[in-house]
Amino acid sequence: MDGQPLRFDTKIAVLLRDDLAPWQRLNVTSFLVSGLGSQVPEVIGAPYEDADGVAYLPMFRQPVLVFEATKEVLRAAHTRTLTRALPRAVFTADLFSTGNDTDNRAAVRAVPTADLDLVGLAVYGPKGGVDKVVKGARMHP
């Protein structure tokens, strides 16, 4: 590289509801980004290796921007991801009371889209499209 920062034409964003406890924010963020990494292969970079040749797993090739917003702004952002058909992952309040992946999927499946009690949303796509999705949210402190 020539010392210039790398600019991406895409963006990974996580939007969290602003009333979550700190442990919930971390948990929701972790779950949400795992969904993007598993379904959008272009977001994953090459594996890492240290100077001793020890291998490490690949990670996202670009930063993940984390935002927070009210329940209403989060709902609007979710609607915008649907109308733009952007890759997305959701985390609902119901998932805090489940204990495994099967129950997590069942909890989301049991609720109509308009009634999901969203606490988090991850989205990936063109920078301008993702910026429109998170409109009204603020960067997480």
pLDDT value at residue 1: 47
pTM of the model: 0.89
- CA-wise closest residue to 122 among 42, 41, 34, 63: 34
Identify the residue whose tokens are 């010392």: 3
d(CA 7, CA 5) in angstroms, rounded, equals 6
pLDDT value at residue 55: 97
**Residues in Cβ contact with 23 at an 8 Å cutoff, skipping those fewer than 6 apart:** none
Torsion angle defined by CA atoms of residues 22, 98, 13 and 114, in that order, rounded to the nearest 10 degrees: -120
Express each pLDDT in 58-106 by its tens digit: 999 999 999 999 999 999 999 999 999 999 999 999 999 998 999 999 9
